[in-house]
Amino acid sequence: MTHLSHSVAETESIAAELARTLAAGDCVALEGPLGAGKTQFVRGLAAALGANPRAVSSPSFVLLNIYRGGRLTLFHLDAYRTVSADDFESIGFAELLEQQGVVVVEWADRIAKILPGRRIRVSIEVMGKSDRQVTLERLDEGGAQP
């Protein structure tokens, strides 16, 4: 499903719609260039799940932020600075997937080989200064589901 966003608020709203469908154990793989709004999308997820959206920040330097207090714990990871998927795996990625929260990975394409087959792929494409095309795909075993 593809959405067009004209503002930060609309991007957060798209994320909130997705959040209503998330269940324990889901993995959200975020893709898009620098400045596309990946962290803003996570802010919308956190708010809709009941966590404090003001606590959301890019985990580029810390690799992992955890947002609690909502209906599901949100584990927010960033693969931008990882050298390889093996490095990312060594920080406990597989264990996070078993924590019965929602795992969101920014720059997920950098660690594609270790992502679970069942995941939600979110691609954010910059269309203009504040315009974004947000594409959501539910994947299972590497293939899109109707």
Question: 96: which 2 tokens?
Answer: 């996070």
Could you report the per-residue pLDDT of 111-146, keeping only the tens digit for each? 888 899 899 999 999 999 999 999 999 998 644 443
For position 32, which CATH number holds? 3.40.50.300
At residue 59, the pLDDT reads: 66
Rounded to 5°, angle at Cα 132 from 128 and 134:
155
| Helix and strand counts by DSSP (H, E) for the chain | 4, 8
The number of distinct structural domains making up the chain is 1
C-alpha 9/C-alpha 40 separation (Å) is: 9
Bridge partners for 27 per DSSP? 103
Could you report the per-residue pLDDT of 36-92, keeping only the tens digit for each? 999 899 999 999 999 988 888 776 656 788 888 788 999 988 888 776 777 777 778
pTM of the model: 0.88
Q: Which domain holds residue 51?
A: 2-144
69 conformational bin, left if phi > 0, alpha if psi -120 to 50, beta if neither: left
